[in-house]
Amino acid sequence: MTDPLPPADGASTEAPSAGRAARAVERRSSTGFGRYLLKHVSGAAVSLLLVLFSSFFIFRLIAGDPIDQLTKERPVSPEQRAAMRAELGLDRPLWQQFWDYITGTLTMDLGESFQYRRPIFDLIVERLPATLLLSGTGMVLAVLLGFWIGTRSGWKQGSRFDKGQVATGLVLYSAPTFWLGMIVILVFARYLGLFPVNGMRSPSTPPDFWSQAVDIGHHLVLPVLTYTAVVYAGYLMIMRSSILDEIGSDYLTTARAKGLRDDEVRQKHAVPNALLPTVTLVFLALGSVVNGSIVTETVFSWPGLGTLFVNAIFYPDRPVLQALFVLFSSSTIVAVLCAEILYWFIDPRIRRS
Amino acid sequence: MTLLEFKDLRVTYRGSRGRLPAVRGVDLAVDAGETLGIAGESGCGKSTLAMAVLRLLPKSAEVSGQILLDGEDLLAMGWGRLRAVRWTGASIVFQGAMHSLNAVQRIGRQIAEPILVHEPKTTPAQAAKRAEALLERVGLPPSRARSFPHELSGGQRQRVMIAMALACDPDLLIADEATTALDVMVQAQVLRLISDLVRERGVGLVMISHDLSVLSAVCDRAAVMYAGRIVEQGPAHEVFAQARHPYSAALGAAFPVIGDPAARMHPGGLAGDPPDPLRLPEGCSFRPRCAVAVERCGAESPELLEVGAARVSACFVAQEGMPVVG
């Protein structure tokens, strides 16, 4: 949309036309937001549909016949097999199974687990809080730590602090999670005896709220430590390079010329600009909070979605895999959508185009 | 009374190719309320000179000599004192093209920021009021304080830069290519605004530009820089109308006279490139491009000497009273 009457720049004509221009900008931005929102919401909806479709077919392609797997190494008669097939709804035509799956998923009826013989929805609801607690805490710590160190690293590029932090971060980043988890268990649980080895709570803990909370917190320390140590370097490097992009910008010279201290120039001017390109990243991180800690959960036997997923792979429990795949993907898609909507509000430059 | 004085200022950049002298011994003075223009082509060291005043040069720059602001040497100041002098003693009107303003901060806040830094007793509301008054003074509606830089045109942004530079009532204003990116009409308006403000507030102005018409419109006095040195200085209109250095003459001739067919058919200008600061020629650094060079120019480097009333030139030819246009 172009403004038919661009504001003239002259001092004499500016005052009246600027008011008009300001109103035009407001009008433009409200319809602009609707269009922007529609564009990104429809994009996300298409992605969600693709995920829904592919989840159904992928696990049918790779998992083979579930009856073989469920009955392996046991003598079963063909009648029993047929009965089982009927019970699990596998005797119906593929298109009908597909239709049930689509309508079921859309109405939060995710089917029943082969392994547990319980509704998958209940399984997920039971385990989701544990996962959110572990990877949510870990992610927040990783983002804060990574951004904090990254900002200081980039601002003093080439300093001893910068070199030391980047090296440490990358060593941890490249360490395999299960290996690091074992080292952590060995040192802090086995030798030092400071923290429990696995699980989320001890059976002997009194049932009152505070005892339970302290116990869970105690169990949480090592998994969160492992998780944070492995992922924070990613945020460190991103923030560092984002700061490096801003260093040398003219507006920082302006800020310095105004008499601001070096740390004020960094925090008030460089950081807000450097944060902009990292917003998508943070939201991607939030999206992956749901699925982000599969290995960590396995190492520490944490009763969350990651453990559920790994168990489902080994069983193999196709409906559970299918449902978790949809859940993991859609949480990422929704998080990215949120990032895009947020951009509209935090980056004034987007509103222009 | 002398407001700003450069004494034998030298700036050398340490780079991968070696030590690069950008400013090679500049002596220059600006009186309170006076307007001085500094002209020269890209790379002659004029922006380095401007940035040196508030010590905004990158770490790779080695600065020697003295920069006296109100008699106080800026180069010898501690960081605390320097920060206090920045923007209150002297402020800079940067080229207001997009990047000198913070893109994600409303302009009112950016104008008010130095007020809050230098006058800790001011409340944010008072500072915001003053920012609006400044916007009004530079010809923008106060409501513009709530705009972001990208919502303004180039001319409006330049006005914002001027308002910002005036926020702490500095004694000296440095305008570094402040109107370069603007079209001619807007440029004229901004120039008029700057001259009005300078006269109204009695501040000293150092205006840096490659455009002589800009300088002669605003400045009392003009200095021409070439390869890190001042080569000519004098009353602005005289320097440009009757140059006493072949380089100033060539700079003046580079702008065609509108409506003059002779100028259209034979655009003036200067052959050759500015000298490589790493390999400056022997003697006068302008000699390889000079049409009137004599034998002596290859052997000795000319000093700035008086060549008339209030005029100095670093050219042997001019110093002997000969014409500098070949």
Supply the ipTM of this predicted assembly. 0.88
The DSSP secondary structure of B190-211, one letter per residue, reads: HHHHHHHHHHHHT-EEEEEES-
Q: Of A55-59, A258-262, B178-182, give the lowest mean pLDDT range.
A: B178-182
Query: What per-residue confidence (pLDDT) applies to B264?
Result: 61
Query: What is residue A11's predicted lDDT score, i.e. its pLDDT?
Result: 39
Kindly state the average pLDDT of the residues B55-70. Answer: 92
A253: which chain B residues are within 8 Å (Cβ-Cβ)?
A: 51, 56, 94, 100
Phi, psi of B25 (to 5 degrees): 85, 80
**Residue A91 predicted with pLDDT over 50:** yes
Q: Supply the pLDDT for residue A267.
A: 94
Rounded Cα distance between B245 and B242, Å, is 9
pLDDT at A8 over 70: no
**Residues 6 or more apart in contact with residue A41 via CB below 8 angstroms:** A337
Give the pLDDT mean for B241-259.
Answer: 81
Mean predicted lDDT score pLDDT of chain B: 88
| Residue A15: predicted pLDDT | 41
Chain B within 8 Å of A157 (Cβ-Cβ)? no
CB contact under 8 A, B143 and A259: no
Confidence of residue A191 (pLDDT cuts 50, 70, 90): very high
Residues B138-164, buried b or exposed e (16+ Cβ, 10 A)?
bbbbeebbebbbebbbbbbbbbbbbbb
User: What is the average per-residue pLDDT within B260-270?
Assistant: 65
Say whether A259 and B84 touch across the interface (CB within 8 A): yes
Alpha helices in chain A (DSSP H): 11-63, 66-70, 78-87, 94-106, 120-155, 160-174, 177-184, 209-246, 250-257, 262-264, 271-275, 279-287, 294-299, 305-314, 318-346
By DSSP bridging, strand B72-73 and strand B61-69 are: antiparallel
Lowest mean pLDDT among A30-39, A177-186, B282-291: A30-39
Kindly report the nearest CA distance between residue A154 and chain B, in angstroms.
Answer: 16
Chain B residues touching residue A264 (CB < 8 angstroms): 117
What's the pLDDT score for residue A346? 78
Separation in Å, CA of A241 to nearest CA in chain B: 19
Lowest mean pLDDT among A16-20, B51-55, B114-118, B188-192: A16-20
Q: Tell me what pLDDT residue B163 has.
A: 92
Inspect the interface and report whether the beta carbons of A256 and B56 lie closer than 8 Å.
Answer: yes
Q: Binning pLDDT at 50, 70 and 90, where does residue A244 land?
A: very high
Q: What percent of chain B has pLDDT over 70?
A: 94
Residues in chain B closer than 8 A to A260 (CB atoms): 83, 113, 117
CB B40 within 8 A of CB B225: yes
Among chain B residues, the shortest Cα distance to A269 is held by B102
For residue A4, pLDDT beyond 80:
no
Task: Enumerate the β-bridge partners of residue B11.
Answer: B23, B63
Residue B153 with chain A: CB contacts under 8 Å: 7, 9
Which residues on B lie below 8 Å from A348 (Cβ)? 103-104, 148, 150-151
**Long-range pairs for A305-313: beta carbons < 8 A, 24 or more residues apart:** A305/A124, A305/A127, A305/A128, A305/A130, A305/A131, A306/A131, A307/A127, A308/A123, A308/A124, A308/A127, A311/A115, A312/A113, A312/A115
A25/B contact by beta carbon, under 8 A:
yes
Give the number of beta-carbon pairs within 8 Å between A and B: 102
Predicted pLDDT of residue B186: 84
Give A-chain residues touching B148 at CB under 8 angstroms. 348-349
B156/A249 touch (CB, cutoff 8 Å), yes or no: no
Q: What is the pLDDT of residues B167-214, one digit of tens each?
A: 999 999 999 888 887 888 888 888 998 998 888 888 999 999 888 888
Residues of B in contact with A26 (CB under 8 A): none
Phi, psi of B168, deg, nearest 5 = -105, 25
Looking at beta carbons, which residues of chain B come within 8 Å of A250? 94-95, 99-100
Mean pLDDT estimate for chain A:
84
Reported confidence tier of residue A14, pLDDT bands at 50, 70, 90? very low
Longest CA–CA separation in chain B, Å = 67
Distance CA B167, CA B145 (A): 14
Rg (CA), chain B: 21
Mean pLDDT, range A143-164, rounded to an integer: 95
A8: nearest CA partner in chain B? B153
Maximum alpha-carbon separation in chain A: 95
Predicted local distance difference test score (pLDDT) of residue B258: 65
* Minimum-distance CB partner of A259 among B118, B140, B164: B118
Give dist(CA B233, CA B237) in Å, integer: 11
DSSP A269: I
Q: What are the backbone dihedrals phi and psi of residue B37, each rounded to the nearest 5 degrees, phi first? A: -105, 140
pLDDT band at A291 (very low <50, low <70, confident <90, very high): confident
- Confidence label for A19 from pLDDT (cuts 50, 70 and 90): very low
pLDDT of residue B225: 93
**Dist. CA B296–CA A145, nearest whole Å:** 66
Chain-centroid distance of CA B47 in Å reads: 6
What is the structure's pLDDT at B96?
Answer: 61
The nearest CA of chain B is from the CA of A161 a distance in Å of: 19
Question: What pLDDT score was predicted for residue B3?
Answer: 92
For chain A positions 262-281, those within 8 Å of chain B (CB to CB) are 264, 268-269, 272-273, 276
Span B234-260, average pLDDT? 82
Q: How many CB atoms lie within 10 A of CB B57?
A: 20
Model pTM?
0.79
Q: How far is A250 from chain B (nearest CA, A)?
A: 5
pLDDT for the residue A1: 38
Q: Cβ of A10 and B113 within 8 Å?
A: no
